[in-house]
């Protein structure tokens, strides 16, 4: 079945090529296509294009289909082109001509637009909750190990004193900025394109404000041409937010790989969270962090993939955009799996509390020595040269007692302030409004 069938049989090779992976990718969209149709028929009734009893029968059938889709029971049949065709076919089989009325005032173009926005909205919410949970793990570790010093590095050379409190806390605060980027993606995503039809509106008296409210969107994409131009732009912005989050996870994973190596020996994972070697019995490999690094680096390439897919496309719809689904959709699973594994792994990391017993780290206290001389009245540049000479001539003896009191320093991590930033960012999404709208629509 094709929604655009005009009675001419299409070449089988062309049909196979143009359908591509749509049946596979559209299973991600099934609950959201049904949700959009539920809102659309409510609106069609309100403007006189559906009778009340027709809308009731359609609603009952669609709500049953929605719960099938959520539970994983929904299937797109082999000779059916996409999810939109499958939903309409199932309605027509069950309700006859009534099922043929649901496409009034719609195009597959705005159907897929609204499906993708609803799907992306749900994925963003899931990432937000996982990111918030990981934030909690980093913050807890920061508090637990705030008194344990470690070397800080610049150019991968020993630089200045840091602490595990600072290290874990840095990744916690990085996640707050990632949350702000996710919030921007949410704002772009949570606008309603339904009613833009093929990108030029409809002569039917559609009530787009009504479907916006029914679907829990914050606002409309008002201009129907721009609504269609938003295809790809929305995915790119969401991919950028994912890339920002992935970059944080990848960087932490790289740190963990370094710090687990025997050359550093800063942290240890329990043996049951590592892998071994087929010939080297001593090996405890950080495969989990290496895979997080690899997956998250790959996720960061998606922005470029989408950008190239859209480059030089004029306004209007083009079939190129179909490929955006297979670029973006599988990446959500990868990113969420990385978040899940870090949520469970971070609390298992064991810290070496005796790092500074090694004399190779003595010189990281040189800046502290300079600062003490300055506090005693020695000009900074003279103090710097004096300490440098002591190090060069082997006379430098570190004083490992620190007094850092400013905001965000070793002695004042400001984890509570960072947590308030995260809490405010999460509150700003307004998920409750969406949940209430969706529950009312699908009969939850």
Name the 3-class secondary structure at 234: helix
Residue 299 forms part of a structural domain: yes
CB 294 within 8 A of CB 227: no
Q: What is the CATH number of the domain that holds 51?
A: 1.10.275.10
Residues 81-95 have pLDDT tens digits of 889 999 999 999 999
Residues 247-257 have pLDDT tens digits of 999 999 999 99
Mean pLDDT of 77-82: 86
Give yes or no: residues 337 and 233 share one domain. yes
Residue 326 forms part of a structural domain: yes
Q: How far is Cα of residue 155 from the mean position of the Cα atoms in its chain?
A: 30
Range of the domain at 161: 108-205+223-357+414-442
Residue 408 forms part of a structural domain: no
Look at residue 281 in the predicted model and tell me its pLDDT. 82
Give yes or no: residues 25 and 168 share one domain. no
Mean pLDDT of 127-145: 98
DSSP output for 236-265: HHHHHHHHHHHHHHHHHHHHHHHHHSTTT-
Burial tier of 397 (Cβ tally within 10 Å: 0-12, 13-18, 19+)? exposed
- Residue 7, Ramachandran bin (φ over 0: left; ψ between -120 and 50: alpha; else beta): left
Residue 371 forms part of a structural domain: no
Cβ-based neighbours of 250, under 8 Å, separated by 6 or more: 292, 293, 296, 297, 300
β-sheet bridge partners, residue 267 = 351
Residues 398-419 have pLDDT tens digits of 999 898 889 999 999 999 999 9
Give yes or no: residues 289 and 171 share one domain. yes
Confidence at 318, pLDDT banded by 50, 70, 90: confident
Look at residue 2 in the predicted model and tell me its pLDDT. 53
Domain boundary among 80, 101, 122: 101
- pLDDT over threshold 60, residue 313: yes
Domain boundary among 48, 68, 101: 101
Enumerate the active-site residues: 155, 277
- pLDDT over threshold 90, residue 5: no
Q: 7, 38, 29, 31: which is closest to 102 by C-alpha? A: 38
Look at residue 4 in the predicted model and tell me its pLDDT. 45
Name the 3-class secondary structure at 312: coil
Mean pLDDT of 135-146: 97
- pLDDT over threshold 70, residue 14: no
* CA gap 52, 172 in Å, rounded: 52
- Indicate the number of domains in the chain: 2
Give yes or no: residues 88 and 127 share one domain. no
CB 347 within 8 A of CB 142: no
Give yes or no: residues 143 and 269 share one domain. yes
Confidence at 444, pLDDT banded by 50, 70, 90: low
Look at residue 81 in the predicted model and tell me its pLDDT. 82
Average pLDDT, the chain: 93
First to last CA, the chain: 30
Residue 57 forms part of a structural domain: yes
Mean pLDDT of 270-284: 82
Give yes or no: residues 351 and 260 share one domain. yes
β-sheet bridge partners, residue 409 = 412
- pLDDT over threshold 90, residue 274: no
Confidence at 19, pLDDT banded by 50, 70, 90: low
Number of H helices, E strands in the chain: 16, 6
Residue 68 forms part of a structural domain: yes
* CA gap 319, 317 in Å, rounded: 7
Q: Which two tokens stand for residue 281?
A: 């019995």
* CA gap 99, 54 in Å, rounded: 9
Give yes or no: residues 151 and 300 share one domain. yes
Give yes or no: residues 137 and 52 share one domain. no
- pLDDT over threshold 60, residue 292: yes
- pLDDT over threshold 70, residue 38: yes
Q: How far is Cα of residue 101 from the mean position of the Cα atoms in its chain?
A: 37
Q: Which two tokens stand for residue 395?
A: 């006379």
Give yes or no: residues 43 and 115 share one domain. no
DSSP output for 126-194: HHHHHHHHHHHHHHHHHHHTTT-EEEEEETTEEEEEEEHHHHHHHHHHHHHHHHHHHHHHHHHHSEE-T
Give yes or no: residues 254 and 316 share one domain. yes
Give yes or no: residues 150 and 92 share one domain. no
Give yes or no: residues 97 and 112 share one domain. no
Residues 330-378 have pLDDT tens digits of 999 999 999 999 999 999 999 999 999 999 999 999 999 999 999 999 9
């Amino acid at each position: 079945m094709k929604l655009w069938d005009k009675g001419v049989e299409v070449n089988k090779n062309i049909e196979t090529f143009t359908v591509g992976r749509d049946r596979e990718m559209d299973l991600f969209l099934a609950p959201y296509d049904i949700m959009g149709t539920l809102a659309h028929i409510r609106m069609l009734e309100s403007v006189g294009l559906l009778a009340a009893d027709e809308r009731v029968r359609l609603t009952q059938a669609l709500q049953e289909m929605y719960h099938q889709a959520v539970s994983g029971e929904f299937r797109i049949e082999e000779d059916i082109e996409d999810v939109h065709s499958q939903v309409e076919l199932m309605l027509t089989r069950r309700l006859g001509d009534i099922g043929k009325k649901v496409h009034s005032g719609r195009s597959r173009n705005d159907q897929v637009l609204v499906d993708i926005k609803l799907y992306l909205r749900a994925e963003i919410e899931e990432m937000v909750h996982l990111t918030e949970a990981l934030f909690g793990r980093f913050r807890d570790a920061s508090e637990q190990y705030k008194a344990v010093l470690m070397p800080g590095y610049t150019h991968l050379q020993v630089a200045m004193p840091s602490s595990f409190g600072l290290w874990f806390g840095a990744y916690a605060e990085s996640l707050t900025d990632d949350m702000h980027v996710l919030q921007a993606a949410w704002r772009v995503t949570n606008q309603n394109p339904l009613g833009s039809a093929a990108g030029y509106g409809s002569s039917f008296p559609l009530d787009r404000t009504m479907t916006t409210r029914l679907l829990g969107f914050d606002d409309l994409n008002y201009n129907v041409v721009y609504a269609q131009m938003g295809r790809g732009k929305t995915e790119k912005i969401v991919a950028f937010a994912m890339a920002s989050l992935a970059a944080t996870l990848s960087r932490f994973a790289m740190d963990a790989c370094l710090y687990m190596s025997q050359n550093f020996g800063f942290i240890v994972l329990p043996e049951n969270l590592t892998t071994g070697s087929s010939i080297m019995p001593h090996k405890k490999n950080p495969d989990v962090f290496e895979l997080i690094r690899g997956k998250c680096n790959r996720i960061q390439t998606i922005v470029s993939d989408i950008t190239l897919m859209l480059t030089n496309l004029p306004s209007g719809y083009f079939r190129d955009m179909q490929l955006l689904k297979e670029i973006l959709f599988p990446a959500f699973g990868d990113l969420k799996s990385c978040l899940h594994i870090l949520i469970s792994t971070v609390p298992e990391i064991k810290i070496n509390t005796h790092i500074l017993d090694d004399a190779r780290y003595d010189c990281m206290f040189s800046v502290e020595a300079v600062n003490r001389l300055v506090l005693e009245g020695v000009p900074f540049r003279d103090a710097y040269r004096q300490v440098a000479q002591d190090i060069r001539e082997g006379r430098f003896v570190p004083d490992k007692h620190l007094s850092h009191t400013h905001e965000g320093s070793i002695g004042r991590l400001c984890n509570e302030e960072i947590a308030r930033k995260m809490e405010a960012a999460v509150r700003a999404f307004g998920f409750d409004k969406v949940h209430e709208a969706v529950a009312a629509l699908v009969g939850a």
